[in-house]
Chains A and B, each alone.
Chain A
Amino acid sequence: MLATQTAEYSVKDIVKSFGGAKALAGVSMSVSSEEVHCLAGENGSGKSTLIKIMSGVHAPDSGLITLAGKEFAHLSPRQAVNEGVQVIFQDFSLLPNLTVAENIALPTNILKSSKIVGKRETRKIAEEALGYIGVDIDINSPLVETSIASKQLIAIARATNLGVKMLFMDEPTTALTRKEVNKLFEVVDQLRKRGVAIVFVSHKIDEIQEICNTITVLRNGEVVAEGLMSKFKAKEIATAMTGSEIATSRIAPPLGKDSRSLLELEKLTSKNTFDDVSFSISEGEIIGLTGLLGSGRTELAEAIFGKYPVDAGCIKVDGKEVTLNSPEAALASGIGYVPPDRLTQGLFLEQSILRNIVAVGLDRQRSRWGAISKSKLAKIGSSWISELRIKTKNPINPVSSLSGGNQQRVVLAKWLSINPKVMILNGPTVGVDVGSKREILEIIRDRAQAGMAFLLVSDDIPELVQICHKVLVIRHGKISKEFNDKQISESAIYKELN
């Protein structure tokens, strides 16, 4: 399957607006086969929009698309598919009602224009595709029943089929841990050698530097930097994206000596997932929890939020023992939880941004007559939109009109706005650009200083180092190491993880 000659995939002077707001203001970019091209930029800078234009999902207002020598002013998804374009969409774009096997095999069948779709053939295509990226997922299970990480892997397997010549990867690693990312990078390398042109989008600078040869940086829909990857240092990429320098120093706020403990876990145990876990978080304290996929960290977080069964041990909130057998019970005791899969969970995509932000806290906003004051709702929502810098023209617009990273911020705003005593953030800055990461950490710091207790579950070690008072490493369901204040460093945590 070696491509014999190099092909060029490019766009020229692409302009695209959504209802008056310009998402792309004359963008040109070119990628050739055997190249891994990084497309970088802040949330809402137009990365996904550009990908959707090159794959025929959106029609540009003006500009020209060239796919391997063929020019298109208007491109349909089918034409793009025929030219070998495949996309791993930021929101996965999978079909929940079909099986894993069918989700993976459909693009191949469409490309081949096969009128008849055999069950055995479908399974074979799926098995090969999953084997190619080296993962083992039950191909017969319905897609709805798979985890978020599996969904991302399925989206990857489906796009890396044999027909692919131009592969767009829009934040393909958000739900993956390092182990899977390493495997993915091997695949990217193989594809590149096979002659595939690849566009890679990620907010993780180390990933970009590791895998990409060339880079285009977008800011507000315009190209602000481009060139060979080797010419850019990590700092420079971040600066090009945001237009300013980004600080990475530690900003964990000082802890009051006599602050009372808000959450206490005593020998919390759930059969086969986590075992004998004890720690406490006091007022204003920020605790980080990290560990590999399967270490039990997400289950532990969910158990505290009443979403995962506990077999032994107890949880105390504010000194009182509580039974948390449902998220409602946890919420009532003052615990909030932001799940890691924000794009597929917890948002009403077609409802307004305002409504989504106040969705959880709705009951608190009701006036005496049970009605929700529109103006009050708008005020609360708007203050969050500006605090989290959610990029939108109008808070009444549906959440679906936001870029992926901005949708994530809406979920954050929604949970912060209910102001729980203890906040569990699973992947606090997933999909958020480097510039805004720091801003979100600063918001966490400010909330902590106001007394909120935080548990941050994260893979992003630098971020834990910047903000946490204490970092716990979980391994096979047990806390294997605890780093306190001065002991916290990236190298020490990485060492414990591997």
Chain B
Amino acid sequence: MRNETVLILAIVVFSLVIGSKSPEFFTLANLFDILRSSFVQLLFALGVLIVIISGGIDVSFPIVGIFAGYTAVVIMQKFELNGESLLIPIVLAIVIGTLLGGVNAIAIAGFGIPTLIATLGTAGIFRGLMLTLIGSSFISDIPIALDQFSTSDLVKFESATGTLVRLHVLVIPITLITILISLILSRTLFGRSVYALGGGVEPTRRLGISVKGTQTKIYLLAGALSGLAGILYVSLQRKANPYDLAGSELDIIAAVVLGGASIMGGYGTVFGTVLGVLFINLIKNNLVLLGVSSSWQRAAVGALLVIGITLQAIGESRRNKRRRALSESEVESSE
């Protein structure tokens, strides 16, 4: 069974269980809430997905995100930029994210440092820089446009039971970005080079694909996505807290791995990642309904990560068996 199929089944089963316990689960309002809480995570996850497919791992993205989001707000205030503009802080954050991604690229493509070590190091550096040079205090009066954006809904009405049903307008751009990343990965030479890299660095290099160039693009793109995710996070939260997002690596990486991306590199799909993010959010937001205390959330996600990796290992050994069966029949038919 494909990874995506397993996830869809898991989502359905989990939903049925929760739905049977709490009737308000199967409401439009709840569905939209889950979507809303997935937007930022999905952006981070797409960046992580690209990195993981290429055979790397990135643990710096949460700090890149909050660095970009927080710094964009600080710059807006310091230089008294037009707070009514939504575009300025978003562009600022994307630029900052891309620059920080560039630092990762220099460490990884330039100096050849293993990706986990490199991003662990840069994560520390970025955090230190932000807290000492940019600021360490909580900002609650974020620019007006960002603040208002948090309540920009595409759909908004009161349901028959009187609850407010809202679907955030972000659903459109996030969907477009998701489709774009999917197309980049599946239909461009860059995207295929990312998969090639995950399949083997040396064979990829021998083909005439620039390994360093591809890696540089990967970490720049991941940085840009993280920057965007960071500023959207600030907007949706209506506050800029430099200490936020720390620790969200676990959720995101778990989502991507559950979505079928191989931690060894070479495999992974955008569709799987979308499902992974939805699944993790479903679990996190609804464990309480099952009577599980919220302090168990991290343990639950951690367990899911382990399960995801175990499933991959099982899948791999099954693939091996299939490989044998196949090569045998192939020999037969070639007669």
Interface residues of A (CB under 8 A from B): 55-57, 76-78, 80-82, 87, 89, 93-98, 102, 106-107, 109-111, 113-119, 136-137, 141, 144-150, 272-273, 292-295, 298-299, 307-308, 476
Contact = CB atoms under 8 A, between A and B. Distances in A.
B266 A97 contact: yes
A435 to B, nearest CB: 29
11 contacts: A78-B210, A93-B202, A98-B192, A102-B192, A106-B196, A106-B207, A111-B208, A113-B189, A117-B189, A148-B327, A150-B330
Interchain residue pairs A-B with the least CB separation, the first 4 = A97-B266, A147-B327, A294-B335, A95-B199
Given A98-B199, A145-B322, A150-B327, 18 more contacts: A76-B208, A77-B207, A78-B209, A89-B206, A93-B202, A95-B196, A95-B200, A96-B200, A97-B195, A97-B265, A110-B189, A110-B208, A110-B209, A111-B208, A115-B189, A116-B188, A136-B334, A145-B326
A357 to B, nearest CB: 24
Contacts of A80: 208
Nearest to B53: A97
A476 B331 CA distance: 12
B123 to A, nearest CB: 28
A78 B210 CA distance: 8
Nearest to A341: B327
Contact of A57 (B188, B205, B210, B323): B205
Contact of A93 (B188, B206, B322, B334): B206
A173 to B, nearest CB: 16
Of residues B207, B265, B328, which shows the largest number of chain A Cβ atoms within 10 Å of its Cβ? B207
B325 to A, nearest CB: 9
A357 B202 CA distance: 25
Given A78-B208, A87-B206, A144-B323, A294 B200 contact: no
Interface string B173-200: 0000000000000111111100110111
B315 interface: no
B312 interface: no
Of residues A77, A97, A109, A292, which shows the largest number of chain B Cβ atoms within 10 Å of its Cβ? A97
Contacts of B206: 55, 57, 77, 87, 89, 93
Nearest to B197: A95
Contacts of A57: 205-206
Interface string B307-331: 0000000000001001110111011
Contact of A97 (B198, B210, B324, B327): B198
Contacts of A111: 208
Contact of A81 (B192, B207, B335): B207
A172 to B, nearest CB: 16
A22 B189 CA distance: 38
A293 B189 contact: no
Contacts of A272: 332
A77 B203 CA distance: 11
Nearest to A270: B328
A150 B267 CA distance: 22
Nearest to A79: B208
A336 B330 CA distance: 25
Interface in B255-294: 265-267
Nearest to A294: B335
Contact of A145 (B191, B204, B319, B332): B319
Contacts of A476: 335
Given A57-B206, A294-B335, A117 B327 contact: no
Contacts of B191: 117
A93 B322 CA distance: 22
Contact of B205 (A77, A109, A114, A119): A77
A83 to B, nearest CB: 11
Given A107-B207, A308-B328, A293 B334 contact: yes
Contacts of B199: 95-98
Contacts of B200: 93, 95-96
Contacts of A308: 328
Contacts of A82: 208
B181 to A, nearest CB: 15
A52 to B, nearest CB: 8
Given A77-B206, A102-B192, A97 B267 contact: yes
Contacts of A148: 327
A299 B328 CA distance: 8
A299 B335 CA distance: 14
Given A96-B200, A97-B267, A98-B195, A81 B328 contact: no
Given A117-B188, A150-B327, A294 B332 contact: yes
B189 A94 contact: no
A124 to B, nearest CB: 15
B207 A144 contact: no
